[in-house]
Structure 1
């Protein structure tokens, strides 16, 4: 796992020239791998329902999980029965597993559990996304569309639509491939996907591209981590002494969100993305309000003290995005027999 310090350097335009040859080797490897899939030297498996991949080409948080939740909610309003497949990163289960209400974040991963709870849709995890989809459809045969969370580079699964999320603040960093930069694939990969969603500032990454849309994150309410039934309005902590604590891919985005609602923490504590919280992490600030993201909060429910609150947000997309998606889904039904 890449450290937060290295990620911050990549997005501050820092380049380690000694690593550029390794980035060239990485480019060669991923290019050959994709060519092998394209020419069917490596097998590609298809599920019997449409698959929408939501991913990115960069390391670090871009906002994929809120987008997946928003897509699930919208699909349900359109009469679909969506399901989600995910790798289950940092979860303890190594085999394919269908998420249940008894599962915890250490078992299945924080992001799949957040999607399961917030979107209220079936979720399956597994390194083999195809097998995860098979198990999901076996248990929930009513599912008629599947979203693959963070599956852009998982070419072993056939996909019908590819949506890439780009951080509108950090964009593509220094634009170098791993390990000299944050790119998992070359920037040219953006020209081959079906849509690019910019999370935040509506920067133009590709000239004359119609399928590029804007997404913003809207803070909704504060939820008590110890007792989720307790809620507070967004401005509840704007004049209180607070500590910001998070373990996400882009912690600065959380801090910016706090500033936008008038919260100025007197202290911050940043952990590596997907960090497994411990009860001791809170002991230093038992007399202060501790503020977290929802992704952080679901990992702390069993041991968080009553002074810990998580911020519920929702992804807001332009109406043209949903119009575009409606057209794409109609086309899939008419031309692929779904």
Structure 2
């Protein structure tokens, strides 16, 4: 109810909205827990670069130690700027700024990188103080909207009706039952690419390398079951699992129990352990795969923005 009232106040201009001089695409969700926003942001950045854009990303920097606006650099660690912004910075190879105030984060990003001509706001759907040109909501195809109740009775940050106001809904994992006859609903899947050694990222293994090995699955993400399902899909059946809360800060002691087994984790986990992980820890690189109609839709939307808004 509170978030609905806040959105109405912003919509009616009772609360101020700030605009950046470049288009802003918000990628977010209306549920708690992992839905696949970060892989989608990375995929969007990579696609935008192929289309001649110079994208930048703004993010809250959740669980990072920095409280003020900060432009991410190669010297920053996950404990400082947050695991998701750092992963985007490394994987998408685009400028990233973090800050509770997304507008100020965007201002600082454009000040340092004036060539940026489009900004993606990672998990900024409920940050209504920032004007946005497109809203893309990611929904987990397995859990969908849960019991459809708002927090704390259910998983929803906003009512289900909010989906009818966004520009596109991306379903992470095939599921056709969420919205009927909606032209701007698209499917996304996660494709396992390769295993990367956390201690030495130059070491790679094919995705089927550990299917016959004694492995431990370890992760600290919003939806651990999705990672376990991915492992099963590539023939890995861990003999043990260790699940931490989302954004958990790993410690060296977390690995000592299984020094003789392969420890498998996600990239989001791995970037937090590079400095102290033993050599038996591997992270799974994945990439978000979207239907071609999604990119066709996005191309049309961006063309309209250029023609009608002067971007």
TM over 0.5: yes
Q: 1:32: how far off?
A: 1.6
Aligned counterparts, 1:34-183, within 5 A:
34-183=7-156
CA-CA distance at 1:324 after TM superposition: 0.1
Q: How many residues align?
A: 311
CA distance, structure 2, for counterparts of residue 92 and residue 147 of structure 1: 22
**Shift in Å at residue 201 of structure 1?**
1.9
2:257 corresponds, among 277, 284, 303, to: 284
Counterpart-to-counterpart distance in 2, 1:191 and 1:312 = 33
Say whether 1:193 aligns with 2:166.
Answer: yes
The CA deviation at 1:207 is 1.6
Local SS of the residue matching 1:315: strand
Query: Following the alignment from structure 1 to structure 2, what is the Cα–Cα distance between the partners of residues 120 and 323?
Result: 23
Cα distance, 1:203 vs. partner? 2.4
Match of 2:202 among 229, 234, 238: 229
Q: Distance in 1 between matches of 2:74 and 2:7?
A: 37
In 1: Cα distance, 2:279 partner to 2:176 partner = 40
Distance 1:320 1:177 in 2: 32
* 2:208 alignment partner, SS class: helix
Rounded Cα–Cα distance in structure 2 between residues aligned with 1:165 and 1:80: 23
The DSSP-based 3-state class of the residue aligned with 1:189 is helix
- 1:95-133 Cα offsets, whole Å, 9 max, x none, are 000000000000000000000000000000000000000
- For residue 206 of structure 1, report the CA deviation from its aligned partner: 1.6
| Offset of residue 204 of structure 1 | 3.0
> How far has the Cα of 1:168 moved from its partner?
0.2
SS at match of 2:242: strand
Identify the residue that residue 238 of structure 1 maps to in structure 2. Answer: 211
Q: What are the ranges of 5 or more consecutive residues in structure 2 without an aligned counterpart?
A: none
Give the whole-Å Cα distance in 1 for the aligned partners of 2:4 and 2:48.
Answer: 34
Whole-Å separation in 1 of the counterparts to 2:263 and 2:276: 14
Q: 2 CA distance for matches of 1:111 and 1:266?
A: 28
Q: Distance in 2 between matches of 1:311 and 1:147?
A: 24
In structure 2, what is the Cα distance between the partners aligned to 1:335 and 1:204?
34
What displacement does 1:205 show? Answer: 1.4
What is the deviation of 1:31? 2.1
SS in 2 for 1:311: strand
Greater fraction helix = 1
Distance 1:202 1:319 in 2: 17
Alignment partner of 2:268: what SS? helix
Supply the distance in 2 between the matched residues of 1:279 and 1:39 (Cα, whole angstroms): 51
Q: CA deviation at 1:202?
A: 2.5
Deviation at 1:34, TM superposition (A): 1.1
Distance between the aligned counterparts of 1:35 and 1:163, measured in 2?
19
Measured in 2, the distance between the counterparts of 1:170 and 1:285 equals: 31
* CA offsets 1:266-315 (integer angstroms, 9 cap, x no match): 00000000000000000000000000000000000000000000000000
State the partner residue of 2:269: 296
2:191 and 2:207 mapped to 1: Cα distance? Answer: 10
Deviations 1:220-268 (A, max 9, x none): 0000000000000000000000000000000000000000000000000
Q: For each residue in 1:24-43, what CA deviation from the matched residue of structure 2 results, as whole angstroms up to 9, or x when unmatched?
A: xxxx3222211110111110
Rounded Cα–Cα distance in structure 1 between residues aligned with 2:310 and 2:77: 37
Deviation beyond 4 Å, 4+ runs, structure 1 = none
Query: Equivalents in 1 of 2:80, 2:141: separation in Å?
Result: 32
Shift of residue 58, structure 1, vs aligned partner = 0.1
Q: Distance in 2 between matches of 1:213 and 1:204?
A: 12
Report how far residue 73 of structure 1 moved: 0.1
TM-score, reference length from structure 2 = 0.99
Give deviations 1:62-108, integer Å, cap 9, x for gaps: 00000000000000000000000000000000000000000000000
Partners of 1:222 and 1:254 in 2: CA distance: 13
* Secondary structure class of the residue paired with 2:145: coil
Counterpart for residue 256 of structure 1 = 229
